[in-house]
């Protein structure tokens, strides 16, 4: 028997115009009457890696947009994200899904989401028959990982250290949530993902990680990525906007791409849910922009 409360739950996929691609998310445009237990129940029953809940709405040009975080006249909302197991501070694909749902209801334009991680502006534009959402991350940060923690992560993944790409060193990157970036030396290494769920989950809880960002560099500005998400009760995330933002910050911090760059991330292909994320870096802004299309999933 369904445990979902009597509310409207929309289903969207983000980072693909095909309902069978990208990363699906539940979207509740009016969650003002739901408590945490109810939101968690919705997310758990849907079973998607995350679902998004709008719990309140601000006034255009109000306090949430002060300091230049948003744009004048932007529609403001407070948003929360839940995986099937717990609340997460920020989720990129569910942000994109929510922005597209709002744009279909109210029209494209500028939005500002107040998240637990900080203020996240989003702009939705129409490109032909498709809508595209671009989120701007909170201020990012990149840090080293202790050798023992790296060894434990590789052991949980069953990845020999020799299979890593020495040109992309392991780091923990943040742009709203924390992600461990590990670069495979070959596409074959990235494709072979069979990990110890419980062991990796335990390490991620200890390090406060949301996902691992496993990457392979196909070209200077093109990457294939995968994102294990055991702390959310999900083996793998098909398209991960928060991790994409963190990865963009990592690449810039390590000097692996120019300060101004447009990057393409392919994710979900190994899961049969291909999606494309565009990551933009700007010299005059430490924040990272992540954009993609999406579409509603039929009931």
What is the arithmetic mean of pLDDT over 179-198? 98
Residue 299 has pLDDT above 90, yes or no: no
Note the pLDDT tens digit of each residue in 260-289.
999 999 999 999 999 999 999 999 999 999
Residue 62 has pLDDT above 70, yes or no: no
Note the pLDDT tens digit of each residue in 177-188.
999 999 999 999
Domain enclosing residue 182, as ranges: 141-284
Domain match, 62 and 94 both: yes
- Orientation of helix 197-207 relative to helix 147-157, angle to 10°: 150
User: How confident is the prediction for the chain on average, in pLDDT?
Assistant: 93
Domain match, 211 and 230 both: yes
Domain match, 186 and 68 both: no
Q: Assess if residue 3 is contained within a domain.
A: no
Domain match, 152 and 40 both: no
Residue 68 has pLDDT above 50, yes or no: no
Q: What pLDDT, on the 0 to 100 scale, is given for residue 2? A: 52
Predicted confidence band at 25 (pLDDT cuts at 50, 70, 90)? very high
Domain match, 278 and 155 both: yes
Predicted confidence band at 1 (pLDDT cuts at 50, 70, 90)? very low
Q: Report how many domains make up the chain.
A: 2
What is the arithmetic mean of pLDDT over 164-175? 98
In sequence order, what E strands does the chain have? 10-14, 23-28, 51-57, 75-82, 87-88, 109-115, 118-127, 130-136, 141-143, 171-174, 178-183, 211-219, 222-229, 234-237, 261-267, 275-282, 285-292, 294-296
Q: Assess if residue 295 is contained within a domain.
A: no
Beta bridge pairs of residue 136: 289
Burial of 223-232, coded b for 16+ CB within 10 Å and e otherwise, reads bbbbbbbbbb
At which of 137, 162, 187 does a domain end?
Answer: 137
Domain match, 170 and 199 both: yes
Domain match, 78 and 174 both: no
We report the CATH number of the domain holding residue 111 as: 3.10.310.10
What is the arithmetic mean of pLDDT over 236-261? 97
């Amino acid at each position: 028997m369904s445990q979902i409360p009597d509310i409207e739950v929309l289903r969207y996929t983000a980072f693909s115009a095909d309902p069978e691609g990208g990363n699906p998310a539940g979207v509740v445009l009016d969650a003002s009457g739901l408590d945490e237990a109810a939101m968690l129940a919705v997310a758990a029953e849907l079973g998607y890696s995350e679902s998004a809940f709008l719990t309140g709405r601000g006034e255009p040009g109000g306090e949430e947009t002060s300091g230049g975080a948003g744009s004048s006249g932007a529609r403001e909302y407070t948003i929360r994200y839940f995986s099937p197991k717990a609340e997460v501070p920020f989720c990129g694909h569910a942000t994109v899904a929510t922005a597209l749902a709002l744009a279909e209801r109210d029209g494209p334009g500028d939005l500002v989401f107040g998240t637990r991680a900080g203020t996240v502006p989003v702009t939705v534009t129409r490109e032909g028959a498709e809508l595209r959402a671009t989120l701007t991350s909170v201020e990012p940060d990149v840090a080293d990982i202790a050798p023992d923690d790296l060894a434990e992560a590789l052991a949980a993944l069953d990845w020999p250290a020799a299979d890593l790409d020495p040109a992309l060193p392991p780091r923990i990157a943040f742009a709203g949530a924390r992600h461990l970036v590990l670069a495979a030396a070959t596409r074959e290494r990235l494709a072979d993902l069979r990990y110890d769920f419980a062991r990796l989950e335990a390490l991620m809880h200890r390090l406060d990680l949301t996902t691992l960002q496993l990457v392979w560099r196909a070209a200077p500005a093109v990457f294939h990525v995968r994102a294990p998400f055991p702390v959310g009760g999900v083996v793998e995330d098909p398209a991960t906007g928060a991790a994409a933002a963190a990865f963009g910050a990592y690449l810039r911090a390590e000097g692996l791409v120019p300060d101004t760059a447009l990057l393409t991330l392919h994710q979900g292909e190994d899961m049969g849910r291909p999606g494309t994320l565009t990551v933009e870096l700007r010299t005059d802004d430490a924040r990272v922009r992540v954009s993609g299309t999406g579409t509603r999933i039929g009931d």
